[in-house]
C-alpha cells in the first residue's frame, strides 16, 4: 500500500480541524519498521493531541494515536521480518510522530514489541496504553508489598480506560475493589467488571482539611490527580502505597508530609511512555499469560476512523466508558 487513510489534525487560523485524508507512505517519518496498522485505541492523551495541547503535540498537520497494533510491511531491523504481528505504544508515537490513526506508521525498531502469541491484535488495543499503565500500577503496588490481604484497593476514574482495566485486573488477582466514579448510571458496569463498592467523587473531596483520614485502603490506583489523590493517600492503611498515573482532575495537589511520616505510606509514580522496551515487553508478556483477562472484551467499544472525532469530544468531557478500539482495516 503506498496510499492510505489517516485521521489528520490541522492547525488553522480559527483553531484545530480534524478530517480523514489520503496519505502516501513516502510522507511518513523515517524509521526502521514500516507497519500496516490493524487497530489503534483511544486514550485521554490522544484527545489532548487532537486538540493541540502543546504538552503532547506541537507540530501540525499531525496524525494522533499513541497506540497501534499491526503487521510489519518492511523492516531494517534483525528483530522483525515482514508479516510479524507487532504492537507499539508510547514513546513519541502519536505525539510528535504520526500515530496509529493512520493505516500505516513508520517507527524506530526500539519502539516495537513483538505481539505475544496469546494476544490478538484487537485485544492488545483493548489494553493499549491504558491497559499497560493499569498493569504497571498494579505491578508497582505489588512490588511495594500490596497483597489482597492489605485491604480494599481504591481505583479513581473508575469507568475510564486505565480505571476499568485496573478494576478488572485487580479482581482477577483476588483483590476487593472500591471504585470512585462520577457516573452514577454506570454502577452496574462497575459492579460487573469487579467493583464491590462505588463512591461518588465527592466522597473523596470531603475532609480535605483533615491531616489524616480513616485508615481504609490497602492500595490506590489513581488516574485523576488533584485533591482526590491526596485524600486517597490520607486514607491508606499503615505502610501501604498509592500509584499515581493521571491528571484528568488536576496535575496539582495540596499536600502535607503527615501521611508519609505518621502512616509510613508511599506515593509511587507510573509512566508507560518512556518505560524501557524490555519493561514494556515484560508487562505485555504478563498480560498475555498470568494476568490475561478472559473478559477483556467487555471493556471494548468498537470505533471506525470516522467515529474518532466524536469519541475525542466524549473522552475530553469525561464521558467515555471502558476502552475505545479503532479498527483501521
Ligand X SMILES: NC(=O)c1ccc[n+]([C@@H]2O[C@H](COP(=O)([O-])OP(=O)(O)OC[C@H]3O[C@@H](n4cnc5c(N)ncnc54)[C@H](OP(=O)(O)O)[C@@H]3O)[C@@H](O)[C@H]2O)c1
> Shortest approach of ligand X to residue 260 CB, angstroms?
21
Stretch 221-250 residues interacting with ligand X (CB under 6 A): 223-224, 245-249
Q: What is the smallest separation between the CB atom of 139 and ligand X, expressed in angstroms? A: 13
Does 193 help bind ligand X (rule: CB under 6 A)?
A: no
Verify binding: residue 181, ligand X, rule CB under 6 A: yes
Cβ-based nearer residue to ligand X, 110 or 271: 271
Q: Residue 278 corresponds to which cell in the numbers above?
A: 524490555
The partner residues of 10 in beta bridges, in order of sequence, read 17
- State in angstroms the smallest separation of the CB of 78 from ligand X: 29
> Mask of contacts with ligand X, 250-279, x by CB under 6 A?
--------------------xxxx------
Query: Which positions from 142 through 161 interact with ligand X, judged by CB under 6 A?
Result: 157-161
CB-based contact 177:171 (threshold 8 Å): yes
Nearer to ligand X, 172 or 247 (CB): 247
Cell of 196: 464491590
Task: Give me the least distance between CB of 104 and ligand X, in Å please.
Answer: 24
Cis amide leading into 61 (omega within 30): yes
Q: Which is nearer to ligand X, 35 or 137 (CB)?
A: 137
Cβ 227 to ligand X, closest distance in Å?
A: 9
- Nearest alpha carbon to residue 95 among 126, 71, 120, 62: 62
Which one, of 85, 92, 48, lies nearest residue 67 by Cα?
Answer: 92
Query: What is the DSSP track for 229-254?
Result: HHHHHHTEEEEEEEEE---SSBS---
> Least distance from C-beta 242 to ligand X, angstroms?
14
Query: Which C-beta is closer to ligand X: that of 23 or that of 280?
Result: 280
Pattern of binders to ligand X over 198-217, x per CB under 6 A?
Answer: ---x----------------
The contact pattern for ligand X, residues 114-133, with x = CB under 6 A and - = no contact, is ---------------xx--x
CB atoms within 10 A of CB 89: 30
Is 141 near ligand X (CB under 6 A)?
no
Q: Can you tell me the distance from the alpha carbon of 71 to that of 74, in angstroms, rounded to the nearest whole number?
A: 9
Minimum distance, C-beta of residue 234 to ligand X, in the bound complex (Å): 17
Work out the burial of residue 73: count CB atoms within 10 Å of its CB; fewer than 13 is exposed, 13-18 middle, 19 or more buried.
middle
Q: Which is nearer to ligand X, 257 or 310 (CB)?
A: 310
Alpha-carbon span 303 to 225, nearest angstrom: 28
Q: In whole angstroms, what is the distance from residue 159 CA to residue 11 CA?
A: 31
The C-alpha cell that represents 30 in the structure block: 523515517
β 266-269/300-304 pair status: unpaired
39-78 positions binding ligand X, by CB under 6 A: 43-45
Strand partners, 217: 236
By CB under 6 A, name the one of 61, 148, 182, 239 that touches ligand X. Answer: 182
SS3 88: strand
- Tell me which residues in 9-38 interact with ligand X (CB under 6 A): none
Residues of this chain that interact with ligand X (CB under 6 A) are: 43-45, 129-130, 133, 157-163, 181-183, 201, 223-224, 245-249, 270-273, 315, 318, 320
Amino acid at each position: 500500500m503506498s496510499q492510505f487513510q489517516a485521521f489528520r489534525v490541522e492547525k488553522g487560523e480559527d483553531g484545530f480541524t480534524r478530517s480523514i485524508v489520503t496519505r502516501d507512505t513516502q510522507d511518513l517519518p523515517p524509521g526502521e519498521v514500516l507497519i500496516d496498522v490493524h487497530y489503534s485505541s483511544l486514550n485521554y492523551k490522544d484527545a489532548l493531541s487532537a486538540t493541540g495541547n502543546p504538552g503532547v503535540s506541537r507540530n501540525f498537520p499531525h496524525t494522533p494515536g499513541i497506540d497501534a497494533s499491526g503487521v510489519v510491511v518492511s523492516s531494517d531491523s534483525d528483530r522483525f521480518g515482514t508479516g510479524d504481528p507487532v504492537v507499539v505504544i508510547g514513546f513519541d508515537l502519536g505525539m510528535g510522530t504520526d500515530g496509529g490513526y493512520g493505516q500505516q506508521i513508520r517507527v524506530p525498531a526500539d519502539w516495537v514489541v513483538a505481539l505475544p502469541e496469546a494476544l490478538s491484535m484487537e485485544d492488545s488495543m483493548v489494553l493499549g496504553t491504558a491497559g499497560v499503565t493499569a498493569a504497571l500500577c498494579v505491578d508497582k503496588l505489588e512490588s511495594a508489598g500490596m497483597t489482597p490481604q492489605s485491604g480494599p484497593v481504591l481505583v479513581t476514574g473508575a469507568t475510564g480506560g486505565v480505571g476499568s482495566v485496573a478494576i478488572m485486573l485487580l479482581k482477577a488477582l483476588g483483590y476487593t475493589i472500591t471504585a470512585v466514579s462520577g457516573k452514577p448510571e454506570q454502577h452496574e458496569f462497575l459492579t460487573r467488571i469487579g467493583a464491590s463498592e462505588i463512591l461518588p467523587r465527592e466522597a473523596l473531596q470531603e475532609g480535605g482539611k483533615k491531616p489524616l483520614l480513616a485508615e481504609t485502603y490497602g492500595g490506590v490506583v489513581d488516574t485523576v490527580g488533584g485533591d482526590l489523590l491526596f485524600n486517597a493517600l490520607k486514607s491508606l492503611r499503615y505502610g501501604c502505597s498509592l500509584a499515581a498515573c493521571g491528571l484528568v482532575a488536576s496535575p496539582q495537589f495540596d499536600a502535607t508530609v503527615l501521611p508519609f511520616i505518621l502512616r509510613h505510606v508511599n506515593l509511587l509514580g507510573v509512566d508507560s511512555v518512556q518505560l524501557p522496551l524490555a519493561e514494556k515487553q515484560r508487562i505485555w508478556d504478563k498480560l498475555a499469560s498470568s494476568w490475561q483477562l478472559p473478559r477483556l472484551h467487555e471493556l471494548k467499544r468498537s470505533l471506525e476512523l470516522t467515529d474518532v472525532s466524536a469519541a475525542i469530544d466524549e473522552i475530553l468531557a469525561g464521558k467515555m466508558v471502558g476502552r475505545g478500539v479503532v479498527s483501521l482495516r
